[in-house]
Amino acid sequence: MKEAVEQGSVCEYDIYHIELKLLKEEREGYEELTDRMNILYKALTAKYPSLKQMGNKERFEMLRQIASGKDKKTAKTALGYMQLTFRRKNLVCEAGERIYCARSLIACLNKSEKILIFGERIRQAEELYEILQREYPERVGRYHSQMGQQANKNIVERFRAGDIRILITCRALDEGMDVPDVSVGIILSGTSLKRQRIQRMGRIIRKGKDRASLYYLHMVETAEDVCFLPNVEKGSIFEPKYHSCVPGFENPEYDVRAKALLEQMKKDGADSPKIKEALRCLALGRVRADWKQDPLEIARKIGEVRYTEDKNYWICMKKLTINNKDNKEP
């Protein structure tokens, strides 16, 4: 990433590390699996203390060797531990809040932006596809190994041409696709392989657009790998939280400014429809970096947009930007 920035091969970009939580029944299942794993791991480390000092990759390689060894009792313990690990990882990967969050997130994004969604499970990709297809008819596609080579080729061409705006994919698309105008990437469920993480980022932040956004959906209080957060000399990192019960997002730094703006509007005598419209606009901005833009750039966009709702959004962003001590009103 550092080399890519230095070579000028990436655009300006922002990264959103969105915190999610397991649902109640998922949390109970996760803790049960963890308790069972701990019992087996204790038995394994009692016989093989060196397991404690190993990294994950090295540890699992040794566990595979133990599982195929002649000591049947220990082999059974090692195999059981690995199976429970995979079950727990699958539970986290397919956690329900990922789908809810992706749906809410897309509703907040600019309707003109192309979106590429990366997942790890075909079943999960299909579920999200069905939901989004109902909300954005004929504007959503999916690409995975069960679709067939020709079907996948056709959907990529439609995505390139702009016939569809949202493409949901699994690992099948990690290599070999180039759609330069994609400006939003959503990591629905992440991979622990650094190479795949970089490839996915490269789909979104490569040079050729003004700015790009990457959204990593991450389950807190689990053993999920920490998201790959690269050098961000050309952008910013934001860490909002998602609440499915609302549903909506929480972005502390942004929310302080948004609250101050609403309070000022009320003091200035803004009527109920204006407050309601401001709330709509501010909800959209919570998962965008528009309020961080230069006031002159925002003023330009206010003059260019065609629709009143878009103009209202940029007016709100302008007011938030003016409240930023680093900027002054144009």
CATH 3.40.50.300 fits 2-23+96-248, yes or no: yes
**Which residue's entry shows tokens 């192309």?**
114
Q: What percent of the chain has pLDDT over 90?
A: 62
Q: Which residue has the higher pLDDT, 180 or 22?
A: 22
Residue 37 is encoded by which pair of tokens?
Answer: 């794993």
Q: What global pTM score does this model have?
A: 0.87
The vertex-203 CA angle with 165 and 176, nearest 5°, equals 100
pLDDT beyond 50 at 118: yes
Looking at residue 273, its pLDDT comes to 95
Local confidence band at 230 (pLDDT 50, 70, 90 cut-offs) = low
pLDDT beyond 90 at 142: yes
**Which residue's entry shows tokens 């299942």?**
29
Q: What pairs with residue 249 in β-bridges?
A: 242
Looking at residue 145, its pLDDT comes to 86
How do strand 114-118 and strand 182-187 relate by DSSP bridges? parallel
For the chain, which residues make up each domain, given as ranges? 2-23+96-248, 26-93, 252-322
Cα separations in angstroms, 207 against 10, 97, 196 = 4, 32, 19
Looking at residue 178, its pLDDT comes to 64
pLDDT beyond 90 at 313: yes
Local confidence band at 175 (pLDDT 50, 70, 90 cut-offs) = low
Q: What pairs with residue 169 in β-bridges?
A: 118, 143
CB 38 within 8 A of CB 47: no
pLDDT beyond 80 at 111: yes
Q: What is the pLDDT of residues 291-310, one digit of tens each?
A: 988 899 999 999 999 999 99
Q: What percent of the chain has pLDDT over 70?
A: 85
Looking at residue 326, its pLDDT comes to 47
